Amino acid sequence: AVEKISKPTIAAIDGYALGAGLELALACDIRIATPKSILGLPEVKLGMVPASGGITRLVKAVGLSRALYMLMLGARLDAETAKSWGLVHEVVAEEQLDKRVEEIAAQLASLSPLALRAVKRLARLAADSPEASGLELERLAFGLLRYSEDFAEGVRAFMEKREPKFKGA
């Protein structure tokens, strides 16, 4: 499953993301769309329900009330509405989509792979855990990462006012 990939995932949405297309995008960590994008889960209009995590992920992304509106009516959202609802993170011009996705990917690639993996895992766990459990997991991860080479490099780079060179160790 896409959400189980340990590296950050980015969905570039340029046009229709309906049904399974939106379910795939919802499984990604970051979603960037173009103004012409239309998003929705219209399965109810076929007498069916989304079956690849769309309901659960949509509720987490936009909240119960908005998710029910979309799911019960099979509603389609334009890109700007999807952004205002938290369904996509950015809306960029069609000709800028690839460039923007590459910029985000480059920014992510410059960060510590260990820290990114931990943040992604902890955020996913936090979404499904009581607050106390999430806080304890954060403390445990912090305790492990504080002895990593990446953390030492990050602190050194900060003190030396330079970009860090992370190794994933």
How far is residue 121's CA from residue 6's CA, in Å, rounded to a whole number? 8
Task: Please provide the distance, in angstroms rounded to a whole number, between the alpha carbons at the two ends of the chain.
Answer: 26
What's the confidence (pLDDT) of residue 110? 95
**If you average pLDDT over residues 103-122, what whole number do you get?**
95
CATH entry 1.10.12 includes domain 112-159: yes
**DSSP E strands: which ranges in 1-143?**
10-13, 16-18, 30-33, 38-40, 76-78, 90-91
How far is residue 21's CA from residue 13's CA, in Å, rounded to a whole number? 9
Three-state SS for 57?
A: helix
Here the tokens at position 42 are 């219209």
Q: Active-site residue numbers?
A: 23, 43
Residues 54-76 have pLDDT tens digits of 999 999 999 999 999 999 999 99
Question: Which percentage of the chain shows pLDDT scores above 70?
Answer: 99
Going by pLDDT thresholds of 50, 70 and 90, the confidence category of residue 135 is confident
Q: What is the DSSP letter of 70?
A: H
Each domain of the chain, given as residue ranges in start order, spans 2-108, 112-159
Q: Are strands 30-33 and 10-13 parallel, antiparallel or unpaired?
A: parallel
Q: Return mean pLDDT, the chain.
A: 92
Angle between helices 20-27 and 54-62 (to 10 degrees): 60
The pTM for the full model equals: 0.85
Residues 115-132 have pLDDT tens digits of 999 999 989 888 887 767
What's the confidence (pLDDT) of residue 147? 84
Going by pLDDT thresholds of 50, 70 and 90, the confidence category of residue 39 is very high
Topology of domain 2-108 in CATH is 2-enoyl-CoA Hydratase; Chain A, domain 1 (3.90.226)
